Structures are given as structure tokens and as C-alpha cells.
Amino acid sequence: MTETIKLNVNGVEHSVTAEADTPLIYILRNDLNLMGTRFGCGLGQCGACNVLIDGNNVASCDTPLWAAAGKRTTTIEGLGTPDHLHPLQQAFVDEQAAQCGYCVNGIIISAKALLDRNPEPGEDEIRAALDRNLCRCGTHNRFIRAIQRMVREAKGNVAR
């Protein structure tokens, strides 16, 4: 049974018609054309599909459409655009923090969730906050450096 459900994604109101148990990821990607949220496992195990719902970091493959109804969802597209990168995205570009880049957006979302609750995390806290994101290319250290750069720059004390 399809239903029409109202969503707020990246500050924009949408209404979508689909079965209420449809994993949110398919709605974001196929109905709203927000392709930066990536399908990795569909099992809530890898973090590639992470989005923020009311500020909480969740796997959109593991979240039914109805659970996002009436809440505020933020995807990578809601952070910044190629011309106006979010400081976190900018830090990732500056550190060239990607190999294939498939896992990256989920990692940026996890980093955003971390920094929103703890603006100056130590390295161990960053690592722990990313432990549910998988990266097969082994780009872990670059991601950590990018997040540390973001933290430094946010403090206005840029190294180098």
C-alpha cells in the first residue's frame, strides 16, 4: 500500500508517494535525486548511507520512510555544494581524503554528528566515532587528518 508522506530534507519540504516501509535511502536517491547518500550494504553495517535525522546519525538503508516523516533529514547535499563546500567537505578536499570516495559521504555525516556534540574531539574520540563506518580503500588516516584539520580551522588556528 503506497502512502503519501511528508519529509523535510535539507530544509526543503517534500511529499513522496511510496510504501511506508521503503528504506529511506531509495527515496532520497530515486525520488529526491540526492545521490550523495550511497548504498553499501543495505544492512546497517557499513555507514555509506548515513544521514542525520533530527541531528542523529542513522543508516538510511535501515530506516523506513515512515520513521523520517515529520522529521528533519540532512544529507551530504544539505552540507554544501561543489561551489560552496561545507568546511568539513573543504577539509576533506584539502587533505585529498578519498581513494575511491564511495564511503566518504557517510564518514563526513558521522563526523558532522560528532562535531555537533563535541567540537574539539581528540584523535581517539574521532576514531571511535567512525568505528561504524567501513572504508575498504584504507583511507582511515586521511579522514582523521581531515577532521582534525576542520577542528583546527574552526578554532581559527590553522597549522602551516
What are the E-state strand segments in 10-157? 12-19, 50-53, 56-59, 72-74
39 binds other proteins per the rule CB under 8 A: yes
Question: How far apart are CB 96 and other proteins at their closest, in Å?
Answer: 6
Q: Which does 69 bind (CB under 5 to 8 A by kind): ligand FES, other proteins, none?
A: none
Which residues between 8 and 37 bind other proteins (CB under 8 A)? Answer: 18-19, 22-23, 26, 29-30, 33-36
Among 50, 63, 68, 92, binds other proteins (CB under 8 A): 92
Among 130, 149, 150, 151, binds other proteins (CB under 8 A): 130
Which residues between 40 and 99 bind ligand FES (CB under 6 A)? Answer: 40-42, 44-49, 59, 61-62, 98-99
Q: Which residues of 121-158 are buried (b: 16+ CB within 10 A; e: fewer)?
A: beeeebeebbeebbbeeebbebbbbbbbbbbebeeeee
If we measure between CA atoms, which residue out of 43, 59, 42 comes closest to residue 51? 59
Query: Is the Cα dihedral 31, 35, 41, 46 positive or negative?
Result: negative
Residues that bind ligand FES (CB under 6 A): 39-42, 44-49, 59, 61-62, 98-103, 135-137, 139
